[in-house]
Amino acid sequence: MARKPSAPSYAGMAIGPEIAAPAPQPIMLAPTPEPGRTLKDASAQLMLYLHPAAAKALKRYALDQNTKVHDLLLEAVEDWFRRHGLREPVRAETARAREKAAQSV
């Protein structure tokens, strides 16, 4: 029968003086023109389950196109809406999105 291991000795371990963590810096956010109208407030969240190989291919394609997977998926849903005669807006509109659209005009 194997011998039971001896209890560990904590004599050589010393706890040093407690080092105070630096105070966290406040995060400064740019003021939004329409308070409370975040993307989460303006949208409906949906879950999409993709095959891992499809997700990897989509990520690679997005990297090659210098865009985000989210934008590629929204473009695909917008195309599907048009092909099926649905006229509702697909992208959620926030104050930031309106500002970006106004700048591009």
What is the tens place of the pLDDT at every residue in 27-58? Answer: 655 554 456 677 788 888 889 999 999 999 99
Asked if residue 62 is part of any domain, the answer here is yes
Task: Tell whether 89 is covered by a domain.
Answer: yes
Is residue 15, in this structure, part of any structural domain at all?
no
In a domain, 35, yes or no: no
Residue 16 in domain: no
Residue 24 belongs to a domain: no
For 103, residues 6+ apart whose C-beta sits below 8 A from its C-beta are none
Q: What is the pLDDT of residue 58?
A: 96
SS3 content of the chain, % helix, strand, coil (to 5): 40, 0, 60
Domains held by the chain: number: 1
Residue 24 has what pLDDT? 66
Domain enclosing residue 78, as ranges: 55-104
Predicted TM-score of the model (pTM): 0.56
